[in-house]
Amino acid sequence: MGLIVVSNREPYAPKRGEAGQLAWVPSIGGLTAALDPALQRSGGTWIAWGEERPEVGEVDLPQGAPRYRLKRLRLSEAEVRDFYYGFANRALWPMSHYFIGRATYQTSTWRTYVNVNRRFAQAAVESFRTGDLIWVHDYQLALVPRLIREALPGARIGFFWHIPWPSTEVFRTLPWDRELLEGLLGADLIGMHTDEYVAHFLSACRRVLGAETEGNTVRWQGRESRVVARPIGIEVETYEALAANPEVEEAADRIRRTLQTQILLGVDRLDYTKGIPERLEAFDAFLDRYPEARRRVTLLQIAVPSRERVESYRQLRAQVEGLVGRINGKHTRDGWSPVQYIYRGVPREELVAHYRAADVMLVTPLRDGLNLVAKEFVASSRDGVLILSRFAGAADELPEALQVNPYNVDGLAEALLEALRMPLDEKKARLQRLRERLRQSDLHAWAEGFLRELAGT
């Protein structure tokens, strides 16, 4: 029994070596870390968009000891514009995160979305061998399960939706709400991160389609689909080992020596869902309310570039950098600047060093499907405090974090004070309980568990 994985992003990226040869380097991210080992064990095919070096259609991976095939789809500039930047990220992404005012629903981008989903589905059908499991991932490919089902009625198909599933009132603003649900219900097993998302999805099936639901099962057009909450984990042991690495610890010490204050840390893609402006406003309010914290506390904000071709993301960058400048101009004293702002991607070792250096981790999205940064911090931190938005999917799993409403600037400012004043024994006790939760369901257990469930459908 083999495995076919279908995702927008590919697990390995092509890089040109010093001698000019093409090397395939594992992509950083939970999906690659979880499913690359599973595919290496079972054999099969990973189907994805070949964003870089698109002329390479197929490659056997890993190099040197190949265990499965990567089938790379070549998308035209128009397809990338309308499928990825257009429908996926200007319609589905904002709608799913409750930002209806940012959603743009255009028939032209929807048609391209349908056509590109059809291409992914066809690639999966061509790769299928009797007995294979098919696992499709995320909002970019929501129509793929039904398209595969039409060609392979007996196939076992799983789907995982990695972002929030919104309330039905919000979901119904999508002009193609029926089509999206029907696409997903081509899967036998549909996974989401939280029970709340599952409940919203079941509600949408009833109210939009008129489907019958019983427990977590949807009955529609003679088929049954199970919908389950299975939050993704992280590689806990990997982060613990990195945190214990002497070079990482020395890097953390350098960060502390450079700033010479208590450190509040934020690490986010620069996305309007992440609540970075609200976080900065809360820190400004904190310094206004507690001026004695000046020169004693620094907010270190790492913003990872994201979707720079999209105008709204460029505007967000300007807004964030304007806020950083205003706060620093207002509060800077004697060589101390309250906000240190880094706009670039950060390698994992450097990221863990920042986790180790931080006294308080701020994970305060306005809405987030899960948020793995919160889990990475818990696995890496020495004795830090996690402040976590109640609107992050991870909040259900991490009750020992200080949970906040990121829209409440004053409440977030007060949470900063509570975290900075928390006794050491309480900080360590909270972290210990959080780590125990992470170990119970790590990244590999998530993948293996979902595939077992799918095989049993």
Query: Using the 8-state DSSP alphabet, how is residue 173 labeled?
Result: T
The candidate with the shortest Cα–Cα distance to 164, out of 363, 366, 368, 446, is: 368
Cis peptide before 62 (omega within 30 of 0): yes
Give CA angle at 47 (45, 53), nearest 5°: 115
Q: CA 277, CA 298: separation in Å to the nearest integer?
A: 16
At 158 the three-state DSSP class reads: strand
Helices and strands in the chain, H and E counts: 17, 18
- Which residues belong to the active site? 162, 368
Give CA angle at 166 (160, 169), nearest 5°: 140
Residue 50, both tokens: 């070949």
The candidate with the shortest Cα–Cα distance to 53, out of 14, 111, 93, 4, is: 14
At 46 the three-state DSSP class reads: strand
The candidate with the shortest Cα–Cα distance to 336, out of 287, 282, 266, is: 287
Residue 112, C-beta contacts closer than 8 angstroms, at least 6 positions apart? 78, 79, 82, 83, 86, 87
Cβ-in-10-Å burial (0-12, 13-18, 19+) of 149 comes to: buried
